[in-house]
Structure formats: structure tokens, C-alpha cells
């Protein structure tokens, strides 16, 4: 298998001490009670977690309790844009690397190694990036998901999809084609993973698709047929189509979108809703260690999933906390700080 090399790569995999969570501990600083909670989760005693801390320390601190137990991980990490992102005059996060690709890859690979350890055997990982580093990240993920870890390799797992999220936004390219999409890499730890295309499929409808022939049944209802390899397949107009790996029906958030909470690089709730519906069940545990605007825990809460969300920035934690407190229904959650030992 081909491998990607960068300066310091041998140190990217966390040490055994870090993996065992001995370098950091979690301190609870606030508890928020339930508000008309989802019934299924209300009686379990579970508390969702919002954690402030550096991502490696947070993930290592979670390992003793949650290794192999996270059902779905979504991350939207810095893209190596070379910019600082602010809300008003307050820094949301810095994405400056002084052009040092080696440093970025080291930072990202160390994160991915720990996420792999936290992921359940039937779990799924979604990594949201763009044109700058997606190609490097895919090679890193291929290596992590193919390597034997904890005594075995993830049989039948690994790469599943490269999802293209195409959106309309301002800006034009005078010397190249306009860059109008992000990439979301979808990986699983094994062949036995949760996936429900029927929850997110689009209705086939009454307009022609591909080379299908249009028909009317005896009740005047439209259906479609197509001949493939000597067989005829028929579909009703109400049947759901398997979603493709190009998502052009979810808009990015405009400046005055009512969903916006002011956090830079905020992603739309519809994007996370699609991922959570497809790749998790009610009461499954969802993790986002770059929670930013709080979209992942907010959507997870609404869909009845348990969640752990973390971020290093003050603005991310305050934005996420406010978003959660504004929900009409929630189970209890705690706000924690990750402290170095």
C-alpha cells in the first residue's frame, strides 16, 4: 500500500500514555438539567458532554471510558487556509500554518489516530475538508484504517465515499474554475456499519431520469421502467432513489440566514441531519471534536442521539452552549474543561 510521508510522521501516532488518557483529565464546571427531554434518553441517566480543551488531550481523556464505543464521528477541522477566523473582534480559531504542510499533516494525523481508537467496530467517520488537503487526508485515512490496531484490522471497512458538497456562493475565478464545493470523506471501521439510504433518499417524482420510460397504471399513477442486462426494472414515482455522492441540494448559509449564530465557517444543520440520519440510530453516540458553532450536538439532540462535543476556543464553547440552551427539548448535559495532568 502506498504511504504518505512527512517530517515527523513517526511521532504522529499518540504514545501509549496519551492513548490511555494519563495526560489529561476532565473537570465538570456546569450541569444543565433536562428540558422536556426525549423520553428514550430521559431514563438512562446519560448526560451529554460539551468539553473545552485541546483536541488531543480531550480525545485521550475520553479513551478510558469510550474506546471503541463511539458510533458516529463527524469532524470539520481547520482546512489549512492560512487565515484567522473571527466573530466581531473575537478570534474563533486560527488556521495559520505558515505554509508548513508537514506541521498540518502531523496535527491532523495524530487526531485521526485517536478518533480511530474511539470509533466502534460498527462505527462511521466523516471528515469534512476542501481542495487544499483532502487528497493528503484520504491517503492518511487509508493507512490508518488498513493497519492492524488492537490486534486486528477493520475487516471490510475503510473508504466508503468521497462526498462532494456543491454549493452556490459568491466569488469568481479569473484564472481557474470557481471552487464551489467541499469534500466529506466517509470511512467505516468494518463492513458491519449503520447506513440507512431510505431515510435520506429523494422521491423519484414524475420527471424523466436517465433512460427510463414513463408509464401510467390502471389508476392513472405514473411509474417508470428501464431494461438492464435483459431484465426490466420498474419504479413508482413515490419510490426513493439511493442518494448519490454529490450533494447539491443543501445550500451553504448566507450571511443573513436565520440559522446563523455568528460563528465563522458555520455549516448548515441540513448537512449534519443527512449524515446523522444515514449513519446512526436513536441513542447512538456521536462525537465532534471541532464543534465550532454547535451544529453537530444540536442536530444530534434533536434527533435523539447522545453526543460528546468539544472545541478549544472560548467562542465555540459559548456559541454551542447558547445554541443548546435555546433548544425546546434536551436531555441533561454537562460542560467540562480538559486539564493537563
Q: What is the pLDDT of residues 66-90, one digit of tens each?
A: 999 999 999 999 999 999 999 888 9
pTM: 0.90
Asked if 168 and 143 sit in the same domain, the reply is: yes
Whether residue 254 is contained in a domain is answered as yes
Residues 140, 13: Cα–Cα separation, whole Å: 11
Residues 225, 23: Cα–Cα separation, whole Å: 61
**pLDDT at 235 exceeding the cut of 80:** no
Asked if 91 and 216 sit in the same domain, the reply is: no
Band of pLDDT at residue 51, cut at 50, 70 and 90: very high
- State residue 209's pLDDT score: 66
**pLDDT at 126 exceeding the cut of 50:** yes
- State residue 31's pLDDT score: 96
Band of pLDDT at residue 340, cut at 50, 70 and 90: confident
The owner of cell 453537530 is 296
For 298-316, what is the mean pLDDT? 97
Domain count for the chain, please give it: 2
Asked if 94 and 214 sit in the same domain, the reply is: no
Residue where one domain finishes, among candidates 176, 211, 241: 241
From residue 82, give the alpha-carbon distance in Å to each of 93, 97, 103, 112.
11, 6, 13, 21
Asked if 181 and 280 sit in the same domain, the reply is: yes
Residue of 112, 146, 142 lying closest to 13 (CA atoms): 112
Asked if 68 and 187 sit in the same domain, the reply is: yes
Residue where one domain finishes, among candidates 186, 213, 241: 241
Asked if 258 and 282 sit in the same domain, the reply is: yes
Asked if 109 and 231 sit in the same domain, the reply is: no
For 88-106, what is the mean pLDDT? 95
Mean pLDDT of the chain: 89
**pLDDT at 47 exceeding the cut of 90:** yes
Alpha carbons within 13 A on the beta-carbon side of 309:
29
Asked if 320 and 256 sit in the same domain, the reply is: yes
Whether 45 and 37 have beta carbons less than 8 Å apart is answered as no
**Collapsed DSSP state (helix, strand, coil) of residue 269:** helix
Phi, psi angles (nearest 5°) of residue 197: -65, -30
Residues 51, 329: Cα–Cα separation, whole Å: 20
| Residues contacting 314, CB < 8 A, separation 6+ | 52, 90
Question: Facing residues of 226 across strands?
Answer: 233
Range of the domain at 176: 9-22+59-201+245-330
Amino acid at each position: 500500500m502506498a504511504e504518505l510521508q512527512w517530517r515527523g510522521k513517526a511521532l504522529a501516532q499518540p504514545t501509549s500514555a496519551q492513548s490511555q488518557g494519563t495526560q489529561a483529565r476532565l473537570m465538570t464546571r456546569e450541569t444543565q438539567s433536562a428540558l422536556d427531554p426525549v423520553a428514550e434518553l430521559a431514563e438512562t441517566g446519560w448526560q451529554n458532554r460539551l468539553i473545552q480543551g485541546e483536541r488531543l488531550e480531550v480525545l485521550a481523556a475520553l479513551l478510558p471510558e469510550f474506546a471503541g464505543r463511539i458510533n458516529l464521528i463527524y469532524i470539520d477541522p481547520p482546512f489549512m487556509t492560512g487565515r484567522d477566523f473571527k466573530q466581531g473582534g473575537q478570534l474563533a480559531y486560527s488556521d495559520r500554518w505558515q505554509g508548513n504542510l508537514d506541521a498540518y499533516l502531523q496535527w491532523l494525523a495524530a487526531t485521526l489516530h485517536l478518533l480511530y481508537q474511539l470509533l466502534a467496530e460498527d462505527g462511521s467517520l466523516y471528515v469534512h475538508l476542501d481542495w487544499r488537503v483532502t487528497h493528503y487526508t484520504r491517503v492518511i485515512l487509508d493507512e490508518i484504517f488498513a493497519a492492524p490496531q488492537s490486534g486486528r484490522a477493520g475487516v471490510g471497512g475503510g473508504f466508503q465515499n468521497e462526498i462532494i458538497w456543491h454549493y452556490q456562493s459568491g466569488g469568481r475565478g479569473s484564472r481557474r474554475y470557481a471552487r464551489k464545493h467541499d469534500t466529506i470523506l466517509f470511512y467505516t471501521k468494518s463492513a458491519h456499519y449503520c447506513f440507512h439510504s431510505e431515510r435520506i433518499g429523494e422521491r423519484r417524482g414524475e420527471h424523466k431520469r436517465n433512460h427510463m420510460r414513463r408509464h401510467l397504471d390502471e389508476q392513472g399513477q405514473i411509474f417508470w421502467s428501464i431494461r438492464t442486462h435483459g431484465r426490466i426494472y420498474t419504479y413508482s414515482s413515490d419510490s426513493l432513489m439511493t442518494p448519490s455522492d454529490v450533494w447539491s441540494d443543501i445550500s451553504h448559509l448566507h450571511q443573513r440566514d436565520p440559522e446563523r449564530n455568528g460563528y465563522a465557517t458555520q455549516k448548515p444543520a441540513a448537512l449534519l441531519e443527512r449524515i446523522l440520519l444515514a449513519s446512526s440510530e436513536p441513542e447512538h453516540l456521536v462525537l465532534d471534536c471541532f464543534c465550532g458553532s454547535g451544529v453537530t450536538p444540536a442536530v444530534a439532540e434533536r434527533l435523539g442521539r447522545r453526543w460528546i462535543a468539544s472545541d478549544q476556543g472560548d467562542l465555540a464553547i459559548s456559541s454551542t452552549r447558547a445554541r443548546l440552551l435555546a433548544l425546546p427539548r434536551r436531555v441533561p448535559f454537562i460542560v467540562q474543561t480538559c486539564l493537563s495532568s
